[in-house]
A = this chain, B = another copy of it.
Amino acid sequence: MKLKVGILGATGYTGAELLRLLVSHSGVEISWLTSEKFSGKKISEVFPQFRNLLDLECVNIARLGTLSKVDLAFSCLPHGTSMHFVEKLLLAGARVIDFSADFRFRDGDIYESWYKVKHTYKNFLEEAVYGLPEIYREKIRGAKLVANPGCYSTTVILGLAPIVSEGLLKEDSVIVDSKSGLSGAGRAPSLEHHFSESNESASVYGVKGHNQRPEIEQELSNLTGNPVNVTFIPHMIPMSRGILTTIYAKLDEGKSHEDIWNSYKQYYLRDSFVRIYEKGKFPSVKNVRFSNFCDIGVGFQEGVFISVVTLDNLGKGASGQAVQNMNIMFDFPEDEGLKYPGMYP
């Protein structure tokens, strides 16, 4: 019997990508999906790419209580809103994968100060598992509530985990420069992301502090046991999908390029979605678009350690990772429905 899943907020970009992945997953049946904006419409009217593939009607979330029981619910709702529905679903007995930041923090106060939202379900923070399988695979397996990581955070944590967990990082030396495609900014129209404005341009944002920084710092600190601070600046570049993150750091001495590279290979030995490039080679976004892979290349420039990480912001950075988490939680092969390469060219 197939796993029954429901999706909250299915008509944004993460929702669309999740639907795409679930439609070709052999073990899943989508029971319902919600959308405030498009309730009453068929999903194939909202997203014509699903014609002949998926015909479910979007339901208003107000009717959540009337919907059938599911084994797993995905919440693609925005932070602040998501927590309320996650609670309802947990109480109704479903396991939940939440795409928002609502349950990513151990410390609710950090959440509140960065997201400017009162957290009313802090009691769930302890049992929530940060859904990065390469770090927390075993905890995810048994989790009732998985907080799916942020897209930028995934690049930085995976791009630094091997050296951070070995304690090689010099304190306060980490500079993170991320370049993201525009789907990361969501589906709501705005002047800034209007085609003619963002096409043939590039810009920086969040210089004062992007809200994925505390999440990065929490996880890197967990890995090393000491507080890790990062400087993190995200950029928008004119493509639809993908992130390339360039990380600059200083390492404690005594390790060669070869040593470091071996640490990365070793660290991700069991992780089929993380691909470490040969020394001197670095990944490009083209090779991971629309996939669940996270590609990493490491090198040095005059003593500064460089880690270059690419992934698809809606793939391994969101919906792909959520499906990977689902596979772990429900004993599917971890790569079920995700075993395909980046879309090329």
A28-50 residues at the B interface, CB under 8 angstroms: 47-50
A182 within 8 A of B: yes
Chain B proximity mask over A232-272: 1 for CB below 8 Å, otherwise 0: 11010111111010101000000000000000000000001
Stretch from A79-87, A112-120, A132-140, A336-344 that touches the partner = A336-344
- Residues of chain B within 8 A of A310, CB atoms compared: 202
Given A194-B187, A282-B207; A340-B20 close (CB under 8 Å): yes
Q: How far is the CB of A23 from chain B (nearest CB, A)?
A: 7
Q: How far is the CB of A261 from chain B (nearest CB, A)?
A: 13
Tell me if B204 and A49 are in contact (CB < 8 A). no
> Could you say how many copies of this chain the assembly holds?
4
Tell me if A301 and B202 are in contact (CB < 8 A). no
Tell me if A195 and B182 are in contact (CB < 8 A). yes
Given A301-B233, A340-B20; A49-B195 close (CB under 8 Å): no
A141 within 8 A of B: no
- Residues of chain B within 8 A of A177, CB atoms compared: 175, 177, 246, 248
CA distance A122 to B227 in the complex (A): 52
* A175 partner, pick from B13, B244, B248, B288, beta carbons under 8 A: B248
A84-100 residues at the B interface, CB under 8 angstroms: none
Stretch from A101-109, A143-151, A289-297 that touches the partner = A289-297
- Residues of chain B within 8 A of A191, CB atoms compared: 187, 189
A68 within 8 A of B: no
* A13 partner, pick from B196, B297, B342, beta carbons under 8 A: B196
A208 within 8 A of B: yes
Given A204-B308, A246-B233; A286-B194 close (CB under 8 Å): no
* A231 partner, pick from B194, B293, B297, B301, beta carbons under 8 A: B301
Tell me if A175 and B242 are in contact (CB < 8 A). no
Given A24-B340, A196-B187; A291-B49 close (CB under 8 Å): yes
Given A179-B202, A198-B195, A285-B203; A231-B302 close (CB under 8 Å): yes
Residues of chain A at the chain B interface (Cβ within 8 Å): 13, 16-17, 20, 23-24, 47-54, 175, 177, 179, 181-183, 187, 189-191, 193-205, 207-209, 229, 231-233, 235, 237-242, 244, 246, 248, 272-273, 275, 277, 280, 282-291, 293, 295, 297, 299, 301-302, 304, 306, 308, 310, 339-345
Given contact pairs A231-B302, A235-B244, a sample of 7 additional A-B residue pairs in the complex whose CB atoms are under 8 Å apart: A20-B341, A51-B293, A52-B275, A177-B177, A194-B194, A194-B195, A200-B200
